[in-house]
Amino acid sequence: MTVEIREIPLVEPDAGPYGITPGPDGALWLTLAHAGGIARLSPDGEVRTYPLDPAGGRPLIITAGPDGALWFTRSGDDRIGRITVDGEQRTIALPGGTGPGGIAAGPDGALWYAGMTSDTIGRVETDGTHSAFPLPVSGGFASMITAGADQALWFTLNQANAIGRIDLDGRVTLYPLPTAKAGPVGITLGVDGVIWFVEIAAGQLGRIDPDGEIVEFPLPDRAARPHAIVADPDGGAWFTEWGANRIGHLDPTGRIEGHALLTPNAEPHGITRTPTGIWAALEIGAVAHLTPPTTWAHPPLTRDDHEVIAATRRVVSRLQCN
């Protein structure tokens, strides 16, 4: 696949762009983990930055909320932040030691987050009401979280080496990974209803279906350190290779390609998708934009298509592991 790549300077190199998401205003919104701020990149290339208020929160992941605002985790001071498209901020305090990491909008109209240092999954309503659900592990390091297609949230347990599922009533199910010490991090909902995730320590991608069946895909470069992942409308996924300075792609047949970034040691982290292509946050202070050679305007895949794709992936995975 031939992919056009460009890099857009965003902020000073030490600001540390990390999480990225499309906003309801058509702009891209990013967290600046080192600088302690939020950045907005408009469709015409204008950049605005907003220092955190209060300062010093080390923002990590950002997502669009159901209320037309952006919500983000402040891992440095145990808060959930909210910023409107006009830049107005407020925060919701969490219990000390929560360590919020990933955040996602749930099917119930609330924001759900992963408590990295508290072994919890939390829920915050847009009015600030908060609740937390304990996980059946100790030191599991819940990292990233995504809404599934099954009225539940799915999350990675980086140190417990598992994928978790929590329903809207707080009931938790854990699915151990086949590969030991795989270190799952990024996670996303696929177009066919399965969950995709990355294994940063094992150098693999994985997918889990709603019944808990897991298939793993070893990367050609097992030292690539995959970090974040987003679904491809064609049935595969795009992901950042933090350790290899690439953006990777897995197609519906299980074929994996890597696309080198223009700047060495750019440190790609968060990744997202818009109708104009794939966008990745680069810790060097920029955003990478990849334009694949498709418009993603084709009809959606049928159920039979997805069943064939899933069967093909299982066969490819077994061949790669043998």
CA distance 85 to 91: 15
CA distance 14 to 267: 12
**Tokens 């999954």, located at residue:** 121
CA distance 279 to 160: 30
Beta-strand runs (E) in 11-116? 17-22, 28-32, 37-41, 47-51, 59-64, 70-74, 79-83, 89-93, 100-105, 111-115
Q: Are 214 and 207 in contact (CB under 8 A)?
A: yes
**Tokens 């499309």, located at residue:** 22
Count how many Cα atoms sit within 13 Å of the Cα of residue 149 in the half-sphere of its side chain.
13
Q: Digits of tens for pLDDT over the chain (322 positions)? A: 789 999 999 999 899 999 999 999 999 999 999 999 999 999 999 999 999 999 989 999 999 999 999 999 999 999 999 999 999 999 999 999 999 999 999 999 999 999 999 999 999 999 999 999 999 999 999 999 999 999 999 999 999 999 999 999 999 999 999 999 999 999 999 999 999 999 999 999 999 999 999 999 999 999 999 999 999 998 999 999 999 999 999 999 999 999 999 999 999 999 999 999 999 999 999 999 999 886 444 444 444 454 545 555 455 445 444 4
Tokens of 143: 């990292």
Q: What is the pTM of this model?
A: 0.91
**Tokens 């300075």, located at residue:** 245
Q: Tell me which residue of 315, 279, 280, 273 sits closest to 296, measured CA to CA.
A: 273
Instruction: Give me the active site residues, please.
Output: 269
